[in-house]
Structure formats: C-alpha cells, structure tokens
C-alpha cells in the first residue's frame, strides 16, 4: 500500500449572502402565511382557486428567496 501525504491544499472561498434579520423575518412571514392558507384550504374555508390567488398575493407581499422559486 502506498500512502501519499498531502501538504498543501488550497480551497476557493465563496462569499455567502448574509441574511439580515429583516430578510429572515420576511421568510418567516411568508412561510407562516403559506401554512395558514394551506390550513384554510384543507379545512374547506377556501376553494383551490382562492388558495392560488392568495398564494400569488403572498408571493407579491413577501418578496423572499423562497417565494422567488415558487
């Protein structure tokens, strides 16, 4: 068995976007609104068409990373 010692390793650092408290709060608010809307749909308080309209409004009101990928 041959063992090779690695003495120098260079890694490339990638800058991460630091989320601010406000951005995290927006993410939380979006997720909470989404959860409440799903509960309303599941309990029959709203119809599927209304659910879609509300979620479209939530995406507009809470501009977040999560909402941008939906």
Q: Is the pLDDT of residue 18 over 70?
A: no
Do the domain assignments include residue 62? yes
Tell me: the pLDDT tens digits for 38-70? 999 999 999 999 999 999 998 888 876 665 565
Q: How are the residues of the chain apportioned to helix, strand and coil, as percentages rounded to the nearest 5?
A: 55, 0, 45
Do the domain assignments include residue 58? yes
Residues spanned by the domain of 33: 21-68
Residues 4-15: what's their mean pLDDT? 66
pLDDT at site 62: 81
Mean pLDDT (the chain, rounded): 82
Which residues 6+ apart lie within 8 Å of 24 measured at CB?
A: none
pLDDT at site 47: 97
User: What is the domain count for the chain?
Assistant: 1
Question: Mapping DSSP to helix (H, G, I), strand (E, B) and coil, where does residue 7 land?
Answer: coil
């Amino acid at each position: 068995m041959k063992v090779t010692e690695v003495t120098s390793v260079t890694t490339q650092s990638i800058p991460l976007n630091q989320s601010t408290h406000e951005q995290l709060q927006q993410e939380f608010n979006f997720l909470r609104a989404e959860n409440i809307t799903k509960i309303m749909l599941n309990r029959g308080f709203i119809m599927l068409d209304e659910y879609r309209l509300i979620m479209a409004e939530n995406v507009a009101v809470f501009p977040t990373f999560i909402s941008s990928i939906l």
